[in-house]
Amino acid sequence: MSIAWPLLLVATALCSCASSASASAGGCKFPAVFNFGDSNSDTGGFWAAFPAQQGPFGMTYFGGPAGRASDGRLVIDFIAQAMGLPLLSPYLQSIGSDYRHGANFATLASTALLPNTSLFVTGISPFSLGIQLNQLKEFRNRVLATNGDSGQLPRPDIFGNALYTIGIGQNDFTSNLGSLGVEGVKQSLPSVVNQISWTIQDLYNIGARNFMVFNMAPIGCYPAFLTELPHDSNDLDEFGCMKSYNSGVIYYNELLNNSLADVRKKLQDASIVYVDKHTVTLELFRYPNAHGLKYGTRACCGYGGGTYNFNQNVYCGNSKVVNGKTSTAEACGDPQNYVSWDGIHATEAANMKIASAVMSGSYSYPPFDHSKLCGS
């Protein structure tokens, strides 16, 4: 069943909320956001640690690379702006950062579980969720030690009043799909979910009380995985997405939702919101035209053209000799018409629509009133 109408009804929620927050930042409940995650919410941490990002990343909003795996802003950026807060500075970025309203610990290619391999072998980030949690604890200790006297650090009391956002697990899921298949990967998913739940309880123990946890998007619709992962035509649904992989994602999301329900029972004075990003993103992939987009399972920035415009050997922004000549994966001229930016990550246009739905509270469990984020 399509959710086109609910999404259309909340299409202006983000903008109206942002305007209100800008007019009166005091109307927003949370003075800061601390984010944990992977490339879906990394605002520059990975590229601060391993500087190398090139254009056309960032072309739409920032005018050049800004450490984000997109042509522009991410969901976390839109949420921060809607709350009247500045864009989150990466914890790992030493130059130009301002942490008075929070910090971002997410890095591209991060996993919930501690990796047992090297970045240079498999591409998995060393900054897993446990490491990100330790970074937050160290950050908090430094803030408490300075008693809020440093110009670029938050007040010591901000940690108990901040919003903690968590969106991680996708790389735990996808990194072994090629070798283990969906059924094999499923065996590790309870451990991934447990790590997220333990992290919430650990944050609670140092004063955190407000959490938003994002579930996993439908990776079976991603152009990159449709190109790379083994499947047959019978595995494709009517929208061109892989049924088996999306079924595995649904299994993971059910585990996560159930685990968060258990944590809620233990931490009854905490607000732990499960955000159904999956449903919103699936809707965009299935019905892009209903939301002002044109292309669902086709990458804007890629090489090869065809159905998916993705080639794992010539990734967005890169050049390589193919058939004797140098070929470059370039960006399309109209990213505002695409759901997928580079085959794996969303465009700014898609991220804004996802953020709008999130801010509406319609995809949160238990129901979450966006007026708690900013005044109306």
Give the residue numbers annotated as catalytic, written as ranges. Answer: 39, 342, 345
How many whole angstroms separate alpha carbon 270 and alpha carbon 201? 10
How many whole angstroms separate alpha carbon 113 and alpha carbon 255? 16
Q: With beta carbons less than 8 A apart as the criterion, state whether 94 and 84 touch.
A: no
Which three-class secondary structure string do you get for 20-45?
HHHHCHHHCCCCCEEEEECCCCCCCH
The torsion angles phi and psi of 225, rounded to 5 degrees, stand at: -75, -30
Q: With beta carbons less than 8 A apart as the criterion, state whether 246 and 217 touch.
A: no
From the CB of residue 294, how many other CB atoms can be counted at a distance below 10 Å? 12
Q: With beta carbons less than 8 A apart as the criterion, state whether 42 and 68 touch.
A: yes
Q: With beta carbons less than 8 A apart as the criterion, state whether 45 and 91 touch.
A: yes
Contacts of 46 (CB under 8 A, 6+ apart): 39, 67, 92, 107, 108, 109, 125, 127
Spell out the alpha helix ranges (H) of the chain: 4-9, 13-23, 45-49, 75-82, 119-122, 129-146, 158-161, 170-174, 177-186, 189-205, 223-228, 243-266, 277-286, 348-360
